[in-house]
Structure 1
Amino acid sequence: MYRTRRSTMSPTTRKVVLGASAVVLAGGAFAVGTGLSSAGENCAGLDQALRQNLQFIAGQRAAPDAQSQARIANRQAVVDLINQRRQVAGCDADVAAEVPAAAPANPAKPTTAAPAAPPAAGAGEVVCKGSTVTLSGEAGAPFASSGTFPIGTTLKVTNLDNNKSITVKVETTSGSCVLLNNAAFEQIREPGKFLVRRAVIERVG
């Protein structure tokens, strides 16, 4: 003959246990939901930053010069950092460099026509519309890298998300319209972001 064991918990204790279980389940659902949305938002920017840095490395290897090895080493450190952040965020996209077709290493196009249309005072010619801006990983005083403009060109980069801007000179080449070195990028970045999605790039001077 079997006896039914009666619970020793009082009604008050039973209510407390059930209430705590409900809180744990609700908290878990909230954590999962916010974790997924946060990862989805961060992955797009991290993937774009990784792609641009890989393009720079590929460009340096395709047309190396005396400083290419140092630039590649600096940029590889940035790639490693971005990959660590992608792993933490759960980003699993296959990101690779998009290297454009081979072009002359030293384009000999004359630029005599450019000075014929000087920009208005205090403003510059808006170029590379729709381009995003990320960091090159290079140290030193603020400067820019570009695959669109020759070394010595002065560019003004404005982050429309926080209205911060910086004016820098192009000192090295890259596979993008403009990349900012660490010091320049820090002056216009938003905390925790490796990419400026809404940027205005102007050629000045």
Structure 2
Amino acid sequence: MRVRYKPWAAEKLSEHSGIVVAEPDQLKGKWNEFFGNDNPIHIEVGTGKGQFVTGMGKQNPEINYIGIELYESVLVTALDRILEENVSNVKLLNVDARDLKEFFDDGEVGRVYLNFSDPWPKARHEKRRLTYEHFLKLYEDILVENGEIHFKTDNQGLFEYSLKSFSWYGLRLNYLSLDLHNSGMEGNIMTEYEEKFSSKGDRIYRVEAQFQHS
């Protein structure tokens, strides 16, 4: 993803610490306390400009959402969306997904969303894919027992790789669509990329994968 640098982004993010959490490691194990309720916590890893996480927050006020994004210049757009829509159950983290366990306790997260993640198509970059086994272990640790990953992409290669990765890791595939927008699924919140690709007639792939614990 090519990111247009916004030199003012960091300052704006810091001005809204009630939404963009400055020291998320201090809230590990205390996220429900921070939200002020006992509602489930769902996270989106790679939240981009925030259309999905903001839409989910509006659609499901009984769930707490946290959008995670590495790039400040992208996350500032997500902040603007949250401010414009005035959703109180959506927070943002400007952190690296590889450090998830620094910010969330074991079993603290109810669901992980992965939407249109960077496919990293070259074999030497496999470990960077957000559905690589190392990331699956991170998700498994922070998720509740039998927690789920909901994954969407337009990239067939990444989707096939992810299905293999999920299956190898032992996840159960509860829902799988090879053409989401013709599947009849209700309540689908689209990301910016999803709108762009689907408007061109591109197929959208989706899967719900669940960790299995005996």
- TM above 0.5, one fold? no
Between Structure 1 and Structure 2, the one with more strand by share is 2
Which bracket does the TM-score occupy, shorter chain normalised? under 0.3
Larger radius of gyration: 1
Output the TM-score relative to the length of structure 1.
0.26
Output the TM-score relative to the length of structure 2.
0.26
Greater relative CO, 1 or 2 (CA 8 Å, sep 6+): 1
